Structure formats: structure tokens, C-alpha cells
């Protein structure tokens, strides 16, 4: 079932009506049933994978929790001294670690096989061919279950949290199943933590017209981003980036800027729909974007873009890797040969490389995404090394304190991010070729050489896209001082409903529909 479909609208309206009619104690059960029904619309067979993840994670987390309780009772009964407790707890942690590792290997293994099998087989074929070994390495025809990366990361985060005793494991399998499969976020995230959602998912939510209205407004804003902006410029952007031989020069710039805006409008629009749908049931999902295009550095940008994924990578990969035994030994070795300062940088470098390698592979089974991740990593590490130079530069030149310089930093960060995105859609070699072509041959006159017309954007499309992007920018700018929806509520009801109805008409009239329209292609659905 697609978020942009009549089926989803009917499903949501019917579920909303039934949800607030059934007794309070049954409402979370209704959400669970609806979530599995939502998933079943994608195919009976693919429900098996989230079920495996749910059952195995729930069982292993309960075993970890049981070991903790048993060990505490045993220590109390035996009256151990401090050293005995230390040694016994070390043995307990080893048992629990094996349980956690079993869950990680099993569930990340399922993700790896389904998502990366063809990538591995393809590269094996290339290596065998280079070695002169004849034969064709077969490919597999598996289809990824909906949102497999999201529910796997979310479930494994829960298992790791239980291992580190951040909270007690959930005893009720059905309640844990709702956490894993809650239908709004299964398509595109955000990746949530159990302690963030457990009270909300199972709380006795009463009917609240204000919450339902705000949720509907958030969904409408998401549909505006998706249908009016993303789906209008998406086909033109696709034509530019898949045909670099035809679209060079100024079109490289249009492609990289258009790709960045398209991806944001598509992904952030999907997240708005997800968060709005959940809010209608009284459930607040974590935000995934915080006006990233107002960032003044790439590091700040990644703290404000796809925030739930970046927080997950930081907490469950960066910190464990940077504090691991291997990293500590490497740090000591570097410190011995190159000094203390160099040795102290090793944890940051190793952790960053692993994080961005993971982020690249997570985004897609292709060397292009690996290159994209490593390119971001290199730029981030170089920026970190130049922090002292930046500070000296800002201290020496007073104009860096002027608001205009802040605008320059924002534009610079946007263009830097757009440049790095080229690694996602061009081959590694072509990134540098096309960027060089942009620098050496770009000219505004190329926009009138006939190629722009072939992109399929007429004057009306360009005007609507420009209006949509401008409105999206103005709303983001207004959010600096608080929620736009809350500001709108300060006005009278007629003004509120006029704004809401006006936005509905814009989406209805200016949204991209018709023959060949495919509402399924939210850019992050594939994950």
C-alpha cells in the first residue's frame, strides 16, 4: 500500500474512525493488526522477514534480561565479596554478549543476504573474469521486504540497549511487534528507539481534534513537497543525471542542484506524511529533518539531515568502534611512533571511516554509494583538521561576523553537499569528469540550445516548481521562531481553514498525476 494512493487514504480514515471508537485498552492491538494488514498488502511472503526479526529479537532480549535478574539474585544469595562479584559479572556479560551477537548476526545477516547478495555476486564475477576463469556467476531475484533496513536497525538498536541495560526488555511479544512494525514509519522511517515510543504506542489516547487536525496539516504539507515539487522536477533531473553525454556544461549544475532539491522534497515529504499520520493517533515520532539547508557547515548539515539514521550510526557504531580494543591498540601504536596528538586522532578517524562506510552501504548496494560515503568522510575529516585555521580566519577578518557571510556559508554548504551527491548518480570517474566539464564549459546560453525543452518541463511546470521551492524555503525560514502550524492557530478559524483548503487545492490542482505516474517511488522506500 502506497502512502500516495487512494487505498492509503481510505485505510487511514477507516482506521482512524475505528481507533477512537473501540475501547481504550484495545487500541494498541488495533494498531498492531492494522500494521500487519498494511504490510500484507505488499505480499504475503514478505511478512515472514519482519516476523523473524520481531520474534528473535524479542526472545534474545528477554533472555538477556533474564540473565541479568538471575545474576543479581545469585550474587545476593551467595554473599560475594567485591572481587568475586567482578569476576562473576564479567562471565555474565560474556553470556549476554553472545546472545546479543547472535541477534545481530542473524538479523543483519538477513539484511545483508537480501540487499547485497547480487552486489557480491556481481563483483565475484568481475574478479573471476579478471583472473581468466570462465563462467557466469548467477544472480538472485529476491525482492526487498518493505522498510527492511529501517525495522532491522530499529530492532537491533533495541537489542543493544537491552544488553547495556538502558531499559528492561518488553515482556509482551505483541507489544514489541507493534514497535517493530508500526505502519506509518515502516516505509521510510524515522528510526525510533523503544524508550521513545513504548509509552506512546500503548498509552490510552483519547480523541483530540487538535492533534488530528495538526496531523492532517502535516500530511498535507508532505504531499505538497512530494506531488508538487519532487514529482514535478524528478523526471527532468533523472534525464540529466542518466545521460551525462548529452547533458553537460550548465546541465551538470542543474542536475546536482535539482537532484538535491528533489531528494529533500521527496524524502522530507514522505517523513511529513509519516509523522502526520502517527500524530493523528496521538503518537509523536522523532523528527528526521531540522532545516538542513540552513546549515553553515557539512558537519552541521549531517546533524540536521536524516537525523534518526545519523544518531543511530553515532550511538551504535561510532562510539563502540572508536572505544573498541582494536582502536585503542591502534591508537597506542600510532602514539608510540608519531606522538600523542596523532594517537588521539585515531579513534575519531577509525570511527568516522566505519560510520561513513556503513552509511554508504546502507544507502545502496553499489560502489557509487561506497564512494559517496567515503567522499563525505574525507571532507568531514579535512574540515575537522582545519578547525584551527577556520578559527584564526574568523578572528582575523571582521567581515566573517556579518550576516551576509552567514548566507555565504549556507550557500557554500548547500553546493558542497550537492557536489558530494554526484557520487550517488555518476560513476567514480565520471564525477570528476563532469565536475571539470561544468567548470570549463558551463554557459547560460546552453539553456536555449534545445536540450532544456527535451527535459519535459514547460513554462507552467517551471513556474509551479519555482513557486513550490520558494514556499518550502519561506516555511523553513519561518520555522526558526517556532512551528508554522502553531503560528497559524493564533489566527481565527476561518483563516486557518482557508489556508488549509488553499494548500489542499494547490496539491490537488498542481500535483503531478496522470498517465505513467508512479506514486510508489519515494526515494527512500527502497531501504
Residues designated catalytic:
363
- Only one residue has cell 552541521, namely 300
Contact yes or no for 165/18 (Cβ under 8 A): no
Please tell me the distance from the alpha carbon of residue 187 to that of residue 185, in angstroms, as a whole number.
5
The CB density around residue 76, as the number of other CB atoms within 10 Å, is: 9
Report helix angle 173-181 to 27-40, nearest 10.
Answer: 50
Please tell me the distance from the alpha carbon of residue 276 to that of residue 505, in angstroms, as a whole number.
19
Contact yes or no for 50/145 (Cβ under 8 A): yes
Contact yes or no for 248/441 (Cβ under 8 A): yes
The phi, psi pair for 69, rounded to 5°, reads -65, -45
3-state secondary structure of 377: helix
Contact yes or no for 162/136 (Cβ under 8 A): no
168 is written with which cell numbers? 528492561
Please tell me the distance from the alpha carbon of residue 219 to that of residue 467, in angstroms, as a whole number.
19
Please tell me the distance from the alpha carbon of residue 527 to that of residue 523, in angstroms, as a whole number.
9
Contact yes or no for 304/290 (Cβ under 8 A): yes
Amino acid at each position: 500500500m502506497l502512502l500516495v494512493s487512494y487505498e492509503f487514504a481510505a485505510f487511514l480514515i477507516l482506521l482512524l474512525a475505528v481507533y477512537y471508537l473501540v475501547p481504550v485498552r484495545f487500541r494498541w492491538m488495533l494498531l498492531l493488526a492494522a500494521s500487519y494488514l498494511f504490510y500484507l498488502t505488499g505480499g504475503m511472503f514478505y511478512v515472514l522477514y519482519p516476523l523473524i526479526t520481531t520474534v528473535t529479537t524479542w526472545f534474545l532480549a528477554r533472555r538477556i534480561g533474564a540473565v541479568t535478574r538471575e545474576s543479581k539474585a545469585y550474587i545476593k544469595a551467595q554473599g560475594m565479596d567485591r572481587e568475586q562479584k567482578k569476576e562473576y559479572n564479567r562471565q555474565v556479560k560474556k553470556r549476554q554478549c553472545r546472545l546479543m551477537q547472535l541477534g545481530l548476526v542473524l538479523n543483519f545477516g538477513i539484511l545483508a543476504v537480501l540487499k547485497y547478495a547480487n552486489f557480491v555476486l556481481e563483483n565475484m564475477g568481475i574478479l573471476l573474469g579478471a583472473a581468466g576463469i570462465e563462467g557466469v556467476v548467477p544472480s538472485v531475484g529476491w525482492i526487498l521486504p518493505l522498510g527492511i533496513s529501517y525495522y532491522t536497525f530499529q530492532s537491533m538498536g533495541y537489542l543493544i540497549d537491552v544488553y547495556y541495560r538502558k531499559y528492561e526488555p518488553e515482556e509482551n511479544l505483541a507489544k514489541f511487534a507493534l514497535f517493530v512494525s508500526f505502519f506509518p514509519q515502516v516505509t521510510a522511517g524515522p528510526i525510533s528507539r523503544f524508550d521513545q515510543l513504548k509509552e506512546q504506542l500503548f498509552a490510552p489516547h483519547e480523541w483530540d481534534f487538535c492533534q488530528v487536525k495538526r496531523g492532517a496539516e502535516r500530511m498535507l504539507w508532505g504531499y505538497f513537497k512530494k506531488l508538487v515539487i519532487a514529482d514535478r522536477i524528478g523526471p527532468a533531473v533523472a534525464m540529466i543525471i542518466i545521460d551525462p553525454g548529452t547533458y553537460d556544461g550548465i546541465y551538470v549544475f542543474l542536475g546536482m542542484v535539482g537532484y538535491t532539491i528533489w531528494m529533500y522534497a521527496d524524502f522530507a515529504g514522505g517523513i511529513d506524511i509519516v509523522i502526520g499520520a502517527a500524530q493523528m493517533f496521538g503518537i509523536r515520532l522523532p523528527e528526521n529533518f531540522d532545516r538542513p539547508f540552513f546549515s553553515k557547515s557539512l558537519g552541521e548539515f549531517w546533524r540536521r539531515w536524516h537525523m534518526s539514521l545519523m544518531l543511530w550510526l553515532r550511538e551504535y557504531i561510532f562510539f563502540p568502534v572508536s572505544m573498541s580494543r582494536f582502536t585503542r591498540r591502534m591508537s597506542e601504536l600510532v602514539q608510540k611512533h608519531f606522538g600523542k596528538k596523532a594517537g588521539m586522532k585515531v579513534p575519531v578517524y577509525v570511527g568516522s571511516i566505519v560510520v561513513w562506510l556503513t552509511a554508504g552501504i546502507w544507502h545502496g548496494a553499489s560502489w557509487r554509494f561506497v564512494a559517496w560515503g567515503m567522499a563525505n568522510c574525507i571532507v568531514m575529516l579535512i574540515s575537522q583538521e582545519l578547525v584551527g585555521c577556520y578559527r584564526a580566519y574568523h578572528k582575523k577578518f571582521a567581515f566573517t561576523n556579518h550576516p551576509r557571510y552567514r548566507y555565504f556559508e549556507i550557500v557554500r554548504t548547500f553546493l558542497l553537499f550537492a557536489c558530494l551527491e554526484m557520487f550517488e548518480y555518476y560513476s567514480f570517474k565520471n564525477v570528476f569528469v563532469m565536475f571539470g566539464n561544468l567548470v570549463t564549459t558551463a554557459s547560460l546560453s546552453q539553456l536555449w540550445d534545445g536540450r532544456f525543452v527535451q527535459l519535459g518541463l514547460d513554462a507552467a511546470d517551471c513556474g509551479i516548481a519555482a513557486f513550490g521551492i520558494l514556499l518550502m524555503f519561506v516555511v523553513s525560514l519561518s520555522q526558526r521562531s517556532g512551528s508554522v502550524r502553531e503560528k497559524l492557530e493564533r489566527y481565527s478559524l476561518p483563516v486557518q481553514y482557508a489556508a488549509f483548503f488553499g494548500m489542499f487545492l494547490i496539491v490537488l490542482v498542481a500535483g503531478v498525476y496522470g498517465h505513467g505516474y508512479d506514486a510508489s517511488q519515494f526515494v527512500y522506500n527502497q531501504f
